[in-house]
C-alpha cells in the first residue's frame, strides 16, 4: 500500500515538474521584448534604398549610378524616429576639427535632440562611455549605453554596424558612428523601411548583445528568445519596393549564434552556391589568415569557396580589394595563388582589381601642397546574379572567427529587367570596377605621379574594352 502511495506521489511530482518546465519555456518564447510583434502580424511590404558615402574629390562619369548619401539616409531614419533608436557600432567618434567632420557633428546633435525628446536611445558598444566623448555625452543626457566586453570573449572586437528605428526601419552596412564614415571614407550600406518582419529577427541579435552588457562571460545556453527566426532553409519572404525577395540575417562569431542563427560564413557560402553566372566581391581587405597572439594560421574557408566556384562550377568571379599603405603584402600572394587555379581551364574566369584612392590623394596633395587625410574604400558586400550580401566584415580570417558582425542576405531570383536592389548593387560594383581608381596590377607602394597619370590613361582604355 505505502509503495503504491509512493509511486502516486512520485508521478505527481514528475507531472508538476514537467508543467513548471513547460510554463517557463513558454514564458521564455513569448518574451516581453517583442512588443507583440510576431511572424503573423509583422509588416513585410517594405521599401529599400542603397546608401553610400562617397568622399569629396572622388568623381565618376556623369552617367555613373549614384544613391542616397549615407548622411541623408541616417538623418532620414532619425527624423522618422518616434519611439526608439537602437544602434550597434564599432566606433563612436563623431567630433573632429577636419572640415569633413561637420556631418558627424550634425548627426551627434540630432541624436542629442532625440534623447531630449524622450525617444529611447540604446547604444551597443565595445568601448566604455568613459573612452568616448560621444557615448559619454549621450549617456549623460539619458541614452542607454550597453557595453560589451569583447576582449573577454575570445579576444574579439565589435565590428557590427546596424540600426533599428521604431522597431520598423533598419540600416546595415560598412559605416560606423565615426566622422570618417561620413567624410573621408567610401562606405556602403542599405536601409530598409517599414519592415518589422526583418526587425523581428535582427532585433534578436540586438537583444543578444544587450543581454551581454557588462558581462565577462557568454552564458552556457541562450534564451529561446534569442534564437534565429529565419535561416537559409526558412527565408523571410518580403516585397522590397516592387520586387518579391527572400531575406535572412546572419551573425558572427559562432560564440554568439544561438540555435537557428546563420553564421556569416554560412550566409556567404549560401549566396555563392546559389550563383549561376557571377560573383562580385567588394571588400577592403582580402586575407585568408587568422592572426593569433603569437602565430598565423591559414584560414581556407572563403578562399576555398572561391576556388570551388571558379574551377568546378565555372562561375565568373571579380574581386575588388582596397589598396592602401597598410595593405598586407601577403594579399598579393593569395591573389596570385587564386589566379593560378584558372591556369589552362578555358572557362575559368577570375579578375582581381585594387581600388586605390591613396595614390591619387598623394599626387593631388603634392600638387596642392595640402594636408589631407587618407581616403579608403571600406565597402563590404558581395553581389551575384540572384542575390546580395551586405555585411560588416572584410574577408580576413580574424573578422569571422573572433569579431562580432552581422550581415543581410537578399535573394531576388526572377527580377526580369526591372530595377531592384540587387541590380543596383551590381551597377555600383561595375561603376567602381571600371573606374580609374580600380587597377589590375599591384599598385606601387611609393606613389609615383607620372605612373598615376599613365595608369589612369590605361585604365580608361581597358574600361572601354
Ligand X SMILES: *[C@@H]1O[C@H](CO)[C@@H](O)[C@H](O)[C@H]1NC(C)=O
Residue ranges in contact with ligand X by CB under 6 A: 47-49, 59, 61, 128, 149, 151-152, 193-194, 216, 241-243, 368, 370, 414-421, 424
90 phi-psi bin (left φ>0, alpha ψ -120 to 50, beta other): alpha
Q: Which of 105/149 has CB closer to ligand X?
A: 149
The nearer residue to ligand X, 128 or 340, going by C-beta atoms, is 128
List residues bridging with 290 in a β-sheet. Answer: 297
Residue 321's SS3 state is strand
Which H/E stretch holds residue 289?
strand 289-291
For Cα atoms 303, 309, 312, give the angle at the middle one, nearest 5 degrees: 120
Q: Minimum CB separation from ligand X for residue 58, in Å?
A: 8
Smallest CA-to-CA distance from 312 within 265, 351, 273 is with 273
Looking up cell 509512493 gives 6
Nearest to ligand X of 70, 289 (CB atom) = 70
Least distance CB 390 / ligand X (angstroms): 13
Least distance (Å) between residue 192 CB and ligand X: 9
Nearest CA among 382, 380, 379, 383 for reference residue 415: 383
Nearer to ligand X, 38 or 59 (CB): 59
Contact call for residues 366 and 357 (beta carbons, < 8 A): no
Tell me if 278 sits within 8 A of 315, measured CB to CB.
yes
Task: Provide the minimum distance between the beta carbon of 213 and ligand X in the complex, in angstroms, as a whole number.
Answer: 10
Task: Report helix, strand or coil for 367.
Answer: helix
When the beta carbons of 152 and 255 are compared against ligand X, the nearer one is: 152
**Least distance in angstroms from the C-beta of 417 to ligand X:** 4
Q: Taking the complex as a whole, how short is the minimal distance between the CB of residue 46 and ligand X, in angstroms?
A: 8
Report the nearest approach of ligand X to the CB of residue 149 (Å). 4
C-alpha cell at 250: 546572419
Q: How far apart are CA 335 and CA 310, in angstroms?
A: 13
Of 207 and 415, the one with the shorter C-beta distance to ligand X is 415
Residue 116: CB atoms within 10 A of its CB come to 10
Q: Which is nearer to ligand X, 184 or 251 (CB)?
A: 184
Amino acid at each position: 500500500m505505502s509503495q503504491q502511495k509512493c509511486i502516486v506521489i512520485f508521478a505527481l511530482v514528475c507531472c508538476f515538474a514537467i508543467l513548471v518546465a513547460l510554463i517557463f519555456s513558454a514564458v521564455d518564447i513569448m518574451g516581453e521584448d517583442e512588443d507583440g510583434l510576431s511572424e503573423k502580424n509583422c509588416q513585410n511590404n517594405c521599401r529599400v534604398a542603397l546608401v553610400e558615402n562617397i568622399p569629396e574629390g572622388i568623381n565618376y562619369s556623369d552617367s555613373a549610378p549614384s544613391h542616397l548619401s549615407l548622411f541623408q539616409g541616417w538623418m532620414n531614419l532619425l527624423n522618422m524616429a518616434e519611439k526608439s533608436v537602437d544602434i550597434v557600432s564599432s566606433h563612436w567618434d563623431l567630433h573632429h576639427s577636419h572640415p569633413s567632420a561637420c556631418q558627424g557633428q550634425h548627426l551627434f546633435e540630432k541624436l542629442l535632440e532625440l534623447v531630449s525628446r524622450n525617444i529611447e536611445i540604446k547604444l551597443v558598444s565595445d568601448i566604455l562611455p568613459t573612452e568616448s566623448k560621444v557615448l559619454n555625452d549621450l549617456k549623460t543626457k539619458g541614452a542607454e549605453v550597453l557595453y560589451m566586453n569583447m576582449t573577454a570573449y575570445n579576444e574579439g572586437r565589435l565590428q557590427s554596424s546596424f540600426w533599428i528605428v521604431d522597431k520598423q526601419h533598419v540600416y546595415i552596412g560598412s559605416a560606423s558612428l565615426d566622422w570618417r564614415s561620413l567624410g573621408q571614407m567610401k562606405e556602403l550600406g542599405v536601409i530598409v523601411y517599414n519592415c518589422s518582419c526583418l526587425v523581428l529577427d535582427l532585433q534578436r541579435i540586438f537583444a543578444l548583445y544587450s543581454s551581454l552588457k557588462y558581462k565577462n562571460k557568454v552564458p552556457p545556453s541562450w534564451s529561446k528568445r534569442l534564437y534565429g527566426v529565419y535561416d537559409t532553409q526558412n527565408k523571410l519572404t518580403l516585397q522590397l519596393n516592387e520586387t518579391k525577395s527572400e531575406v535572412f540575417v546572419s551573425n558572427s562569431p559562432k560564440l554568439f549564434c544561438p540555435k537557428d542563427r546563420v553564421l556569416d560564413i554560412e550566409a556567404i557560402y549560401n549566396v555563392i552556391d546559389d550563383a549561376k553566372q557571377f560573383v562580385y566581391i567588394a571588400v577592403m581587405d582580402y586575407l585568408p589568415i587568422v592572426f593569433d597572439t603569437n602565430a598565423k594560421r591559414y584560414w581556407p574557408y572563403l578562399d576555398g569557396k572561391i576556388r570551388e566556384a571558379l574551377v568546378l562550377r565555372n562561375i565568373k568571379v571579380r574581386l575588388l580589394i582596397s589598396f592602401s599603405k597598410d595593405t598586407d603584402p601577403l594579399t598579393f600572394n593569395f591573389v596570385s595563388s587564386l589566379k593560378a587555379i584558372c591556369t589552362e581551364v578555358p572557362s575559368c574566369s577570375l579578375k582581381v582589381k585594387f581600388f586605390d584612392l591613396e595614390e591619387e590623394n598623394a599626387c593631388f596633395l603634392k600638387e596642392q601642397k595640402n594636408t589631407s587625410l587618407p581616403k579608403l574604400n571600406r565597402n563590404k558586400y558581395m553581389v551575384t546574379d540572384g542575390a546580395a550580401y551586405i555585411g560588416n566584415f572584410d574577408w580576413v580570417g580574424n573578422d569571422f572567427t573572433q569579431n562580432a558582425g552581422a550581415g543581410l542576405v537578399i535573394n531576388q531570383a526572377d527580377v526580369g529587367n526591372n530595377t531592384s536592389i540587387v541590380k543596383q548593387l551590381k551597377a555600383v560594383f561595375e561603376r567602381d570596377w571600371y573606374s580609374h581608381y580600380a587597377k589590375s596590377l599591384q599598385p606601387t607602394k611609393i606613389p609615383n605621379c607620372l605612373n598615376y597619370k599613365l595608369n589612369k590613361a590605361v585604365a580608361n582604355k581597358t574600361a572601354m574594352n
